[in-house]
Amino acid sequence: MIELSREEARELAVAAQGLACTPTEPPTWEQAVDTVRRLGCIQIDTIHVVARSQYLVLWSRLGVYDPTWLDAMLDPHRAVFEYWGHAASIISIDLFPYFRRRMQWYKQRYLHEYDWSQQNAHVIDEVRRAIREHGPLGSTHFPAPEDGKRLDRWTWYGNKPTNLALEILWSAGELAVLRRVNFQRIYDLTERVLAEWHATDVPDPDEERRVLAHRAALAMGIVLPRWLNDYFRTRWGSRNHGGPTPAAILQSLAEDGKVVPVTVEGLGTGYVAAENLPLVDAIRAGQRSDHITLLSPFDNLIWDRVRTEALFDFEYRLECYTPAAKRVYGYFTLPILYHGRLIGRVDPKADRKERVLTLKSVHLEPDAPPVEELAETLRPALRSFAVFNGARAIRVESAPPGLAEAWTEDWE
């Protein structure tokens, strides 16, 4: 059995995610599409202190690119679809059949069994009818109830039950996201948005498990059984789901040559997709990552916090929901990926009107390279990040001595 050190496993995870090599040429549309396909899915998030997470994931791998490419993958190119992948996600279109069973589960659970759906069947029927008759619609196309009352303080859909109806019909697979306008979903019938894919048969459960498990292993580089379910938020082998466990699924793939078992120092048995074996050979021969970038808190490499700590010895918590006085690092900190290691984090904020990127704080790990080195080597990544966020200047409010002076700059 192949034996990997913790460092080699880390390098494999970084390389499989497309984060090992610094881009040397301007990115292309084809590279962007291939990146999404390789990752399988990209988590969507609403936080907008800098470019939203889904756009940052591609920037971290490609450098400065046209963010409208990601929108165009959804509409008009239909290279992706939006659904519950790793939370709400942009998912490679070839995986659509393997989420059909999840849609059936949501349909049964939330359309047929959910008390709200039974009590508001007329609202759901009205939303169906409106979209079927009038075509693509978003939440703003539906009026609020005449009394205008918000149901309660924490009701996310405000005073519009039609918002929840749209969400339920989308989760159940009856509606699909056609496009987004100012980040607002515009829905249409799935049979019209994804006619070719909607007509396909639902794969049997075994095929679904094998395809999604293999794609997760391919994207993760190295996967331990206990990490597998998190990637596509599957529930294989869980108390409520039953069926084969992640370990059994991976072992079955290994018997068919789709993945190869390996031993990881201090972590036990893991698996590597057969397609990634050339990466394993190169890494064991001494190849190492040279890429320096920032990562979204929801980047595929680090979204599993347990796996991140196990592989990178880096503890990360998103603090945007923590009261300001209790935050340790900042509101929306981005980990710094530096030659295959996570060596610190920055808390950025983009002032789009003034075109200024402010680093509100910079925190480094104890084993980070010397500040004198980082002052030079991190500057290109920070400038690229600023340009991607439409900034023409960088300001640093709090950082280890020497970094604020080195990274503060203006350019036209």
pLDDT in tens, 28-37: 999 999 999 9
pLDDT band for position 63 (cuts 50, 70, 90) = very high
Residue 147: give the domain boundaries. 114-193
**CATH number of the structural domain spanning residue 337:** 3.40.630
349 vs 362: CA distance, rounded Å: 12
pLDDT of 151 > 70? The answer is no
How confident is the model over 383-387, as a mean pLDDT?
A: 97
Could you tell me if residue 48 is inside a domain? no
Instruction: Please give the residue that has the higher pLDDT: either 112 or 342.
Output: 342
Sheet containing 175-181: give its strands across: 137-138, 184-189, 175-181
| d(C-alpha 188, C-alpha 81), whole Å | 12
1-22 residue pLDDT tens: 899 999 999 999 999 999 999 9
Per-residue tokens: 146: 């005449």
Instruction: Answer yes or no: is 284 within a domain.
Output: no
Domain limit, last residue, from 147, 172, 193:
193
Helix or strand holding residue 190 (H, E): helix 190-193
Closest CA to 168 of 107, 105, 96, 83: 107
Which of 193, 222, 240 is at the close of a domain? 193
Give the CB-side neighbour count of residue 286, counting CA atoms within 13 A: 0
Is residue 50 in some structural domain? Answer: no
Concatenating the DSSP letter of every residue in 281-311 gives HHHHTT-----EEE--TT-TTTSSHHHHHHH
pLDDT in tens, 213-259: 999 999 999 999 999 999 999 999 988 887 899 999 999 999 999 99
Q: Is 9 part of a structural domain of the chain?
A: no
Q: Residue 17 in contact with residue 273, Cβ under 8 Å?
A: no
pTM equals 0.95
Average pLDDT in the 60-79 region? Answer: 98
Task: Tell me if 4 is assigned to some domain.
Answer: no
The sign of the torsion formed by the CA atoms of 279, 293, 302, 68 equals: negative
**Which pLDDT does position 240 carry in this prediction?**
82
| Domains held by the chain: number | 2
Q: Give 194's Cβ-side CA count (13 Å radius).
A: 28
Confidence of residue 157 (pLDDT cuts 50, 70, 90): low
- Domain of 179, CATH number, reads 1.10.10
Q: How far apart are CA 274 and CA 206, in angstroms?
A: 20
The answer to whether residues 203 and 211 touch, using CB atoms and an 8 Å cutoff, is yes
Share of the chain above pLDDT 90, in %: 90
Average pLDDT, rounded, for the chain: 95
d(C-alpha 141, C-alpha 76), whole Å:
22
Has residue 148 got a pLDDT over 60? no
Q: Which amino acid is at 141?
A: H
pLDDT tens-digit map of 163-195: 999 999 999 999 999 999 999 999 999 999 999
Domain end residue (candidates: 193, 218, 237): 193
Q: What pLDDT sits at residue 154? A: 43
